[in-house]
C-alpha cells in the first residue's frame, strides 16, 4: 500500500537523497524519457549522483536528450519512477526488476496508478509527468537549463499530441511557456511530429492497403498481420501511432486498428468520435479503456476478429442513432 504524498514531500525526499536511480516504463515514450532525463539533469545540477534505467532501448528519435544511462557503477540508495502507472510496465530487461520491487518514490499522472511505490505523487489532471516536473524542478532549487527544457517540452508535447488532445489544459500551456524559455520548440516539433521512420511509413502503406469501410463509411478498419509488422520492422510507439489513422478520415465515427500478435491473436484498438463510446465497444469483448480510445484482444483468424468487433461497432452506432432520435 502506497502513501500518497504532496509536492513539498516529493521535493524534500529528492533533496535528501543521493545515488538516485530513475526508472522509466518499457516501450519508452517521450514523456517517460523526457521526464527521467530532466529529473536526472536537475539532480546532477544539485551535485547529486543520478542515472536513468529503462528495460528497452531508447528510440533514436530521442537521441538529442543527454541521458545518463545507469551502468551499474553505483549502488542506488533511492529509486524514483517517472510516468510508470503499474509495476508490470517496467518491463523485464536490463535487470530493471531488481529495482522495480523497491521504488521509493513515484511521480506520475495516470489516475490508474496502482500504488506500487512506497510513496506516490499522482496528479491525473496533469497532461504529462513532464508537466509536473516543470514546476517540481524549480521547487527543488534547480534551474531549467535549455537541455532540461528540451526534455520537458518533449514529454508534454508528445503526451498531448502537440497540444491537440483533450488532456491539454491551461496548465499544460503554462508548462510549455516556461519551457520555451530554453527549448528550440520549432526544431523539436519538426523532430517529434514531422518526421517518420522508414519502418513507420512502410507499415502505414501496408495498413492503408488494408483499409475497409463499413456502415455507410462511418466505420473504417485497418489490419496488419504479424508477418507485415515484422517485415516493416515497426514497433512500440510508432506502431501505436497508426491507431489514429482510420478515425482521422472525414466522416468516420469509429476507427478500428487490428494488429496481429505473435501467437496469432489480434490486438484491436478502437478510436471513436463524440457520438459513440469506444469503451462500450471494447468492453463487450473483454477489453476496456476510455470513452474515445479503448482496446481489446480477440483470438482467431482475421475474418473472425473483424466480424466480432464489427458486430459490436454496429450495436454502438445503433445506440448512438437511437439516442440522437430520442433528443
Ligand atoms: Mn505520460
User: From ligand 1's centre to the CA of 6, what distance in Å?
Assistant: 19
30: CA distance to ligand 1 center in Å?
Answer: 8
SS3 175: helix
Say if residue 236's pLDDT is above 80: no
Quote the CA–CA distance of 292 and 275 in Å, as a whole number: 10
Nearest Cα neighbor of 52 from 28, 36, 73, 64 is 36
pLDDT digit string, tens, across residues 216-235 = 999 999 999 999 999 999 87
Residue 83 Cα to ligand 1 midpoint, Å, equals: 5
State in Å: Cα 209 to ligand 1 middle: 32
> Is the model's pLDDT at 32 over the cut of 90?
yes
Q: How far is the CA of 156 from the centre of ligand 1 (A)?
A: 8
Residue 235: its pLDDT value, please?
79
Q: In the prediction, which pLDDT does 181 show?
A: 78
Q: Does the pLDDT at position 237 exceed 80?
A: no
| Mean pLDDT, residues 190-213 | 93
Mean pLDDT, the chain, rounded, equals 95
Residues 52 and 144 sit within 8 Å (Cβ to Cβ) = no
% helix / strand / coil in the chain, to the nearest 5?
45, 15, 40
Confidence of residue 125 (pLDDT cuts 50, 70, 90): very high
Indicate the DSSP class of residue 2.
Answer: P
The confidence score (pLDDT) of residue 217 equals 98
Q: What is the DSSP string of 92-105?
A: SSTTTHHHHTT-SE
Instruction: Give the per-residue pLDDT at 238.
Output: 81
| Residues in Cβ contact with 294 at an 8 Å cutoff, skipping those fewer than 6 apart | 269, 270, 278, 279, 281, 282, 283, 287, 288
Amino acid at each position: 500500500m502506497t502513501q500518497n504524498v504532496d509536492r513539498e514531500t516529493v521535493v524534500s525526499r529528492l533533496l535528501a537523497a543521493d545515488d538516485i536511480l530513475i526508472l522509466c516504463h518499457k516501450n519508452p515514450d517521450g514523456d517517460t524519457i523526457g521526464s527521467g532525463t530532466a529529473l536526472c539533469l536537475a539532480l546532477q545540477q544539485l551535485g547529486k549522483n543520478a542515472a536513468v534505467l529503462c528495460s528497452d532501448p531508447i528510440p533514436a528519435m530521442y537521441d538529442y536528450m543527454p541521458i545518463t544511462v545507469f551502468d551499474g557503477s553505483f549502488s542506488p540508495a533511492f529509486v524514483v519512477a517517472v510516468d510508470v502507472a503499474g509495476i508490470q510496465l517496467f518491463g523485464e530487461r536490463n535487470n530493471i526488476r531488481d529495482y522495480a520491487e523497491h521504488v521509493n518514490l513515484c511521480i506520475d499522472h495516470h489516475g490508474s496508478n496502482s500504488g506500487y511505490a512506497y510513496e506516490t505523487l499522482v496528479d491525473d489532471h496533469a497532461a504529462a509527468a513532464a508537466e509536473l516536473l516543470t514546476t517540481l524542478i524549480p521547487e527543488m532549487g534547480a534551474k531549467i537549463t535549455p537541455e532540461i527544457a528540451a526534455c520537458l517540452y518533449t514529454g508534454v508535447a508528445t503526451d498531448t499530441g502537440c497540444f491537440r488532445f483533450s488532456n491539454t489544459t491551461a496548465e499544460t500551456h503554462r508548462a510549455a511557456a516556461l519551457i520555451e524559455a530554453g527549448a528550440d520548440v520549432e526544431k523539436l516539433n519538426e523532430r517529434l511530429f514531422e518526421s517518420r521512420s522508414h519502418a513507420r511509413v512502410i507499415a502505414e502503406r501496408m495498413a492503408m492497403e488494408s483499409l475497409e469501410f463499413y456502415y455507410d463509411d462511418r466505420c473504417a478498419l485497418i489490419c496488419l498481420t504479424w508477418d507485415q509488422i515484422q517485415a516493416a520492422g515497426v514497433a512500440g510507439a510508432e506502431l501505436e501511432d497508426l491507431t489514429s489513422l482510420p478515425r482521422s478520415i472525414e466522416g468516420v465515427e469509429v476507427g478500428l486498428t487490428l494488429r496481429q500478435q505473435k501467437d496469432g491473436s489480434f490486438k484491436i484498438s478502437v478510436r471513436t468520435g463524440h457520438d459513440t463510446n469506444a469503451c462500450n465497444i471494447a468492453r463487450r469483448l473483454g477489453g476496456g479503456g476510455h470513452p474515445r480510445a479503448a482496446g481489446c484482444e480477440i483470438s482467431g483468424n482475421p475474418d473472425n476478429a473483424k466480424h466480432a468487433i464489427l458486430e459490436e461497432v454496429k450495436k454502438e452506432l445503433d445506440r448512438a442513432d437511437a439516442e440522437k432520435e430520442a433528443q
